[in-house]
Amino acid sequence: MEDKEIALKLVLDAMDEDASIATQNEILRIQNAIYIAQVCGVPLGYGFRWHTKEPYSSDLTQDCYDLNAALGAGYDEVCKYHLNASLDGCISRIRECLKVPFNVKRDDWYDTICSLHYLIEASGKSSDEAVNFIREVKPHLSDMVDAAHARLSQFNLLN
């Protein structure tokens, strides 16, 4: 198991996120969780771009597959390592930021909050443009956009 896979597993474990990628939704959930982790200051080094309808890192997807293959083959070197204590505050902040509102599906919440952040911060859209874009491209997330914007603002993640 490579260092980057160990770091990925440690961060996912600290965030209480399952590393399993049996479905496409699980891959997207991890993509979103790690995207926000990096926004909050966890230095994993993944670059994200807009892909289809959400922020996406092909390197992260490959590392997820490599991590799952290593875990499936019985390599569990992660237990020998611990996340640097200096990241405890970041991890706590991430968990609070991603806390799912009542009656909302976790995958939809992660998608909304990450897409909104990416569109505003990486794509340079105004808040209104990003909100309207999500409502147009992902109408099933429309009811969550305002709450996601408020959450990102609450955690000072929007400039």
Which residue in 123, 124, 116 sits closest to 157, CA to CA? 116
Position 24 in a domain: yes
CA gap 18, 152 in Å, rounded: 23
CA gap 134, 115 in Å, rounded: 8
Position 63 in a domain: yes
**Interior angle at CA 119, CA 113 and CA 123, nearest 5:** 155
pLDDT in tens, 85-144: 889 899 999 999 999 999 999 999 999 999 999 999 999 999 999 999 999 999 999 999
pLDDT at 8 over 90: yes
Domain interval for residue 80: 3-154
pTM of the predicted model, to two decimals?
0.93
CA trace torsion 78, 57, 52, 156 (10° rounding): 90
Position 145 in a domain: yes
pLDDT at 75 over 80: no
CA gap 82, 67 in Å, rounded: 17
**Residue 23 phi/psi, 5° resolution?**
-130, 165
pLDDT at 146 over 80: yes
Number of separate domains in the chain: 1
Position 159 in a domain: no
DSSP line for 115-133:
HHHHHHHTS---HHHHHHH
Average pLDDT over residues 18-35: 93
Position 29 in a domain: yes
CA gap 67, 91 in Å, rounded: 21
Beta-bridge partner residues of 56: 49
Residue 1's pLDDT band (boundaries 50, 70, 90)?
confident
Position 31 in a domain: yes
Average pLDDT over residues 71-84: 83
